[in-house]
Amino acid sequence: MEAILQLRNIKKTYFINKPNELKALNGIDLDVYEGEYIAIVGESGSGKSTLMNILGLVDSFDGGEFLFDGININEFTDEQLCELRNEKIGFVFQNFNLIPRLTAQRNVELPMLYYGKKRKERKEKAEELLGLVGMEKRVMHYPNQLSGGQKQRVAIARALANEPSIILADEPTGSLDSETSKKIMKIFSKLNKQGKTIIVITHSSEVARCANRVINLKDGKIVK
């Protein structure tokens, strides 16, 4: 079976050719298979978020190759990358990144809006996804009327809006207490059992334990 994501000697340097040049990623080789649940761990500044942003087609890299579903994306235009990202990837962040002026339901509908889905379809899908994460009773709540854990549930529902095959989460429990974190991790495990590929950055060994594979980053490299 071929990996859905293949990184070959990926490098990312900030301030290229400047005296204070900074190698954020220093030759990353990584294969991610469909249905995997991967935790990325490592000290602050080790390159976790940089790696995630490259995996999520958000950031460029300046060396190496990236095959997505077997296709080399090095020559893709920004537009092609954007399309691939919207279709295949759902993002979850530490600080939820919900839109304050929109209800939970509207937040979840937002990614579908860009796809031109009809109003009724959007509403139904948003309700279904909010139900999946246990938020069926908070559909009309605004973010500031929700707890941290509830906000993260809404954010996960939003990440699922366009039925991505891959979920990327950067410290999704970083702002949550340990009880709430456990509940959020249960949702990720459930999604993984439903076939989603999940990659989670975390500081927590408890969170990392939920994964099938742990990748340890140090100074921009994968270490054993």
Ligand X SMILES: Nc1ncnc2c1ncn2[C@@H]1O[C@H](COP(=O)(O)OP(=O)(O)O)[C@@H](O)[C@H]1O
Please tell me whether residue 48 binds ligand X under the rule CB under 6 A: yes
Q: Which position's Cβ is nearest Mg ion?
A: 49
Mention every residue, 6+ apart, whose C-beta is less than 8 A from residue 126: 105, 106, 108, 109, 112, 139, 157, 161
Considering only residues 45, 74, 87, 163, which one is a binding residue for ligand X as defined by CB under 6 A? 45
Give the residue with the Cβ less far from ligand X, 24 or 168. 24
x/- binding map, residues 71-90, to ligand X, per CB under 6 A?
Answer: --------------------
**How far does CA 15 lie from the centroid of its chain?**
26
Considering only residues 4, 36, 37, 47, which one is a binding residue for ligand X as defined by CB under 6 A? 47
Is residue 188 within 8 Å of residue 167, measured between CB atoms?
Answer: yes
Give the residue with the Cβ less far from Mg ion, 129 or 167. 167
Please tell me whether residue 218 binds ligand X under the rule CB under 6 A: no
The whole-angstrom separation of Cα 108 and Cα 150 is 13
Residue 131 binds: one of Mg ion, ligand X, none (C-beta under 5 to 8 A by kind):
none
* Residue 108 neighbours by CB distance under 10 Å: 30
Mention every residue, 6+ apart, whose C-beta is less than 8 A from residue 15: 21, 22
Please tell me whether residue 202 binds ligand X under the rule CB under 6 A: no
Give the residue with the Cβ less far from ligand X, 34 or 219. 219
Residue 115 binds: one of Mg ion, ligand X, none (C-beta under 5 to 8 A by kind):
none
Which ranges of 59-118 would DSSP assign to H, the alpha helix?
78-88, 104-114
Residue 48 C-beta: closest distance to Mg ion, Å: 5
The footprint of ligand X on residues 15-44 (CB under 6 A) is 22, 24, 42, 44
Is residue 222 within 8 Å of residue 215, measured between CB atoms?
Answer: yes
Q: Report how many residues bind ligand X under the rule CB under 6 A.
A: 11
- DSSP state letter for 168: E
State the virtual CA torsion across 120, 121, 127, 131 in degrees, nearest 10: 160
Residue 92 C-beta: closest distance to Mg ion, Å: 13
Residue 117 C-beta: closest distance to ligand X, Å: 33
Please tell me whether residue 46 binds ligand X under the rule CB under 6 A: yes
The whole-angstrom separation of Cα 163 and Cα 183 is 22
Binding residues vs ligand X (CB under 6 A): 14, 22, 24, 42, 44-50
